[in-house]
Structures are given as structure tokens and as C-alpha cells.
Structure 1
Amino acid sequence: MPSPPRAKVLHLERSLLYHFAGITDRVGGSMHMLCRDRYGLSPAAWRVMAHVGELQPITAKEIGLRAAMDSVNLSRAMGQLDALGFLKRHIDPADRRRIVLQLTPAGQSAYDTLVPLSLEAERTLLAELNAQERATLRELAHRVWERSRRLFDDTDQETSF
């Protein structure tokens, strides 16, 4: 009698999703604790602050698209930044329908403190890679990020695996 088909095995040691999650938990967890302990920022609020700090002025819609954040989490994060006095909103003089976001002086100060710490965490994590390997990793990560946006950002379309 033939044996039943063997179930597929995940092999966690080779799973990119497993490795991405672990890296995010370890490195992101340390960064998130720092943001929370020093400034009272949630991980989502730090992500929004990072986008505003880099690209200001920027709209909430643009942040949502760039950061792959849904409107509920984005709204909560912006509310937290508002409550902490880190975010200001104003009407775009070029298009009065747009509300643009910028960091307040306190928000800019927090951003200016957190960015070097974030960059140092990344440098430490990638220290064992040479320059070419780091460049390749960044390129491949960007391509995977873009692919994930194409597959999962359209909430009206179901993705089948």
C-alpha cells in the first residue's frame, strides 16, 4: 500500500519571511523600546515621524502609501504625534485641498536624536557584510518591498498563493 503524500515542510532556517520577522523583532524591538522610553512613541508613530522628518512637507495619504500603513493605524500614529507636540498640520498654499504635515521643533529634535541611533543599529546589523553585499542586499530588499506593494496594497484584490 503506498504511503500518503508527505506534508510540505516549512524549513524555518531557510524561510525568508521567518528571518525578516526575526530581524524586525530583534532590531525593531530595541528601536521601539528606545522610542517609547525616551519619547513615548509607538512603533507606528516612529514610522510616521520618520516619513515626515525625511520628506516634509508631506500629506498623510502619501505617508500611508509609502509606509504601507492603513488609515486607522496612520490616524492613531498622527494623533499620538499631535498629543506629544511633535506634529503640525497646515493647508498647502499651492492646493488648499491638501493638508500637509511637518514636524514641530520638538518633533524635529526627537527625529534628529533618533535617526543616528536607527542608522547605527543598521550599521551594526550589517557590519559583517562588505560594501558590495550591503548594496546587493539593499537592492534586493527594495525589489521585494516593491513586489509586496504590488501584491498586497490593492485591498480590493485578493492575492492567492
Structure 2
Amino acid sequence: MKQEDLIKEAFHIFEEINNHLAINYYSMLEIELSPKQFMVLQIINENHPVKVHEISKQLGLSMSSVSQIVNRLEKDYYVSRDINPENRREILLSLGPSGDKFFKEYERVDRLVIDNYFSKLTIEETRLFRDIAKKIYNVITSGSKSND
């Protein structure tokens, strides 16, 4: 079997895993967020407080696009805006009450998935899984493209 075929098979398996987890676990979140809203929330959760232009740069979206996403998230209390005390012209974004609640619930569901599935791997298999994931991430984000 060629490398390309093996990779396509792995992609298919991961799609099936994601579908199963989405239906059986992540649907428990009962929160409807678009993929872009989720990505913005993740950045805020991991880096808060964060500036709009930092999110724009990280996601490769225009400032206008990020502002529209943030406006929708703020309306539902997922995000809160505060003036940067060090530079009053800048707005800092943090999680709002709905955002805090969402990530607490998301963490609970993640723990269920880990306990029910990933805990079945040995520690060595878990390390290998992590190392392969890191390597793929580094290859993808290194910016080098190959057209062999």
C-alpha cells in the first residue's frame, strides 16, 4: 500500500472517530457555535486577555471579520471586552460568563472521552500518539511546502 493510501485511510478513520465523538459526546454541549466562533473562543480561553488584532493575526482573518464574530459572541455573553489599562485605545477580550460555562462543560466532556476511550491506550501508545500529532503539527505549521 502506498503512503498516500495509508494517509487517506488514516484521515477516514479520524473522520469516523470525530463523527462518533461529535454525535455521542460533544452534542451534549448543546451550544451552537460556528467553527470560527469556536476558534476565536479557544484563542481567548488560552490567552486571555487578548487583543482583537492578535486573534486576527492568528486565524488569518480580517479585523472586521473578527470584530463581527466577537460582537456575536459578546451578545450571548461568551466574551467580554475591557479597555486595556496600559493603552486606553486598545480593547482586551476575555471570556464572559457563557464562555466560562462553555469551557467548563467542554473540559468535562473531554474528560469523559479520555476516560472512556483514550485511557485504553498504554502510556507508550499515548506518548507515540502525542509525538506523531506534534510532528504532523510541526510539518504543517513550518510553512515549508513540497511539490515532489
Aligned to 2:5: 11
1:23 is aligned to 2:17: yes
Name the CA distance, whole Å, in 2 between partners of 1:32 and 1:44. Answer: 17
Secondary structure at the residue paired with 1:89? strand
Name the CA distance, whole Å, in 2 between partners of 1:61 and 1:31. Answer: 33
What are the equivalent positions in structure 2 for 1:10-89 lying under 5 Å apart? 10-11=4-5, 15-28=9-22, 33-35=27-29, 38-63=30-55, 69-71=59-61, 74=66, 77-89=69-81
1:102 is aligned to 2:89: no
Aligned to 2:132: 140
Q: Percent identity?
A: 19
Secondary structure at the residue paired with 1:146? helix
Aligned in 2, Cα 1:140/1:11: closer, same or farther, shift over 3 Å? Answer: closer
TM-score in terms of structure 1 length: 0.65
1:160 is aligned to 2:142: no
Task: State the AA in 2 paired with 1:70.
Answer: G
Secondary structure at the residue paired with 2:143? helix
Name the CA distance, whole Å, in 2 between partners of 1:82 and 1:40. Answer: 14
Name the CA distance, whole Å, in 2 between partners of 1:31 and 1:116. Answer: 10
What are the equivalent positions in structure 2 for 1:106-145 lying under 5 Å apart? 106-145=98-137
Higher relative contact order (CA 8 A, sep 6+): 2
* 2:26–2:109 contact (8 Å) kept in structure 1: no
CA-atom RMSD in angstroms = 3.4
Greater helix share, structure number: 2
* 1:88–1:101 contact (8 Å) kept in structure 2: yes
* 1:49–1:111 contact (8 Å) kept in structure 2: no
Question: Which structure 2 residue ranges, 5 or more long, are not aligned?
Answer: none
Rg larger in structure: 1
Question: Which structure 1 residue ranges, 5 or more long, are not aligned?
Answer: 1-7, 153-157
Q: Deviations over 1:114-140 (max 9, x none)?
A: 222123224434233111221221122
Q: Deviations over 1:45-84 (max 9, x none)?
A: 2333233223311234444565xx3316755543432231
* 2:78–2:99 contact (8 Å) kept in structure 1: yes
Deviates more, 1:23-32 or 1:117-126: 23-32
